[in-house]
Amino acid sequence: MRHLLSAGDLDLDEACLILDTAAQLASVSDRSVKKLPTLRGRTVVNLFFEDSTRTRISFEIAAKRLSADVINFAARGSSVSKGESLKDTALTLEAMGADAVVIRHGSSGAPHRLATAGWIQGSVVNAGDGTHEHPTQALLDAFTLRHHLRDGTGDLAGLQVAIVGDILHSRVARSNVLLLRTLGAEVTVVAPPTLLPFGVADWPCVVSYNLDEVLPNVDAVMMLRVQTERMQAAYFPSENEYSRRYGLDVRRMGLLPPHAIVLHPGPMIRGMEISADVADSPRAVMAEQVANGVSIRMAVLYLLLGGMTDDDRKEL
């Protein structure tokens, strides 16, 4: 594994290796010295062209726990705001000796371009590109599902998962559908027809427009935020109507089987896709998702950078 660009690039063994590695690394968070020497001397650049708190901080903590040097690069306040291209930014980072670039970009495919254009030698990790993919989020969701519903080991064969909300603009949904499928889970996406992407019929999942029908049959439900910042048109008549038909409130949570859990990748809009009562209930595992995110990102950075890299091969 050289880059992590898409959850769809991972086969079952690779996905399980990342989850198992994360499970071992999770114990580091419980120690008094939360530090491992593994990536000493490696440099990780967080290249964020879009706003993010959770993901950027999570990658930063993960890299620091592995003793890597971390450089945070936000587009705002950098040369990018003066009009510098992705290529020139990449060439600058390469000249400074970045071993890995964690990139978030508003354009789908930017990480792929960065990884394949030959601008940089290091590994590229996709931390969310446009409406395309967010593979580490899918991995941390799978890790959370495995912990709660599968004893923390193996794959997710037979698990029923519903992903509800703005599928059209969600990179989390696409990465989750691909990864959960690889792990053997069965996914149902639930959304109004206007918020489903073109070609969803070809996705390896079932599509439904009716949340109440789906909820009694799932082991986990993943609520997505309606991404109004990416919307240039009206996709539903009113927020109130959206919330009534596709929001998760206490009544709907009561339709879930007793063991089922509620996930949300954050940021949540309380009162819109999820009610405050549900967000604060013990079945909502958002805080665990965030904690697991650090372990998953440590695992990804370790597996990409912890062993022999192309630079090391050249020196031999």
Residues in contact with other proteins by CB under 8 A are 17, 20-21, 24-25, 27, 31-33, 35-38, 66, 302-309, 312
Provide φ and ψ at 23, rounded to 5°. -60, -40
Contact by Cβ (8 Å): 136, 159: no
CB of 33 to other proteins, least distance (A): 4
Smaller CB separation from other proteins, 36 or 291: 36
Which residues make Cβ contacts (< 8 Å) with residue 61, sequence separation at least 6?
Answer: 294, 297
Give bridge partners of residue 164 from the DSSP assignment.
190, 223
Cis peptide before 265 (omega within 30 of 0): no
CB of 252 to other proteins, least distance (A): 39
CB of 31 to other proteins, least distance (A): 6
- Token pair of 36 as six digits: 């491992």
Minimal CA–CA distance to 169: which of 100, 88, 263, 106? 106
Smaller CB separation from other proteins, 167 or 298: 298
Smaller CB separation from other proteins, 27 or 232: 27
- CA of residue 127 relative to chain centroid, distance: 7
Smaller CB separation from other proteins, 24 or 81: 24
Q: Which residues of 215-230 are buried (b: 16+ CB within 10 A; e: fewer)?
A: beebbbbbbbbbeeee
Minimal CA–CA distance to 67: which of 97, 45, 35? 35
CB of 27 to other proteins, least distance (A): 6
Smaller CB separation from other proteins, 64 or 245: 64
Contact by Cβ (8 Å): 149, 219: yes
Smaller CB separation from other proteins, 123 or 160: 123
CB of 140 to other proteins, least distance (A): 18
CB of 128 to other proteins, least distance (A): 24
